[in-house]
Amino acid sequence: ASGSSLDWLSYLGGAGRDLAYDMDAVRDGSLVVAGRTTPGQGAPFPTTPGAFQPDAASSNRDLFAARLSADGTSLLWSTHLGGTSSDGGNTKVHVSSAGVVTITDGTSSSNFPVTLGALQPTHPSVPQGFESIVVSRIHPSGTSLLSSRYLGGTKREHPYDGLGLAVRPTGEVIVASSSESEDFPTSPDAPQSDKPGSLSGVIAELAMLPHGVTRYGEAMQGPHGALAMGVASWPQVGQAGFTITC
């Protein structure tokens, strides 16, 4: 309390260039750190057994997310998240009371991991080599993606220059950034649906529901039976957890 002692301190990285951009605390006191990692000549970025993406997807850079124990003595889980081009440069992360990790950043990868049923499953500006925004939700165990999608138009998005992330108590994800795209996806009743300048601010609210889930707290039959993604229930306000099925 006096500031005269250090409770704990740890490195987190490999032999390359690793940048931690954001972090959030879980209800149990553990911490989720997110950023970008670039492989080097030597030890790789540390990941854990069963991680969604244990190895780097490219020799360029990937996003990463890692959960550390409350006392800083162990790595509970750690994963890469990226495609074969350049990913990450301004990561924002939020952790729900149930431990669901929401991440947003930018990518120029055409094969960034997305999930079945994503509203924007392909990179909208790959031919031009521009960056798009990506939004992903990681399972509390770090072993799978609950939902993941692109967000952008056919010109350059600017998540590396400015990016905001908020999550409503009911689960919806709100992302704010800036865009050069005239065709950035807007809603029919948006107060400003036409881009007014060469670079304009954008804000979007996304459901980010796992495939087979119709709304928060309710499920439906998927193509392979009940909830192919294995999510049986979703946390609502005041609930601490949700159920996972095989």
Which pLDDT score is estimated for 216?
56
What are the residue ranges in the chain where pLDDT is below 70?
A: 1-2, 212-246
pLDDT in tens, 199-232: 899 999 998 887 766 665 444 444 433 333 333 3
Structure tokens at 151: 């967000």
Which pLDDT score is estimated for 154?
92
Which pLDDT score is estimated for 242?
44
CA distance 177 to 61: 21
Which pLDDT score is estimated for 169?
81
Total length of the chain: 246
- Amino acid of residue 116: L
Which pLDDT score is estimated for 245?
38
Which pLDDT score is estimated for 193?
85
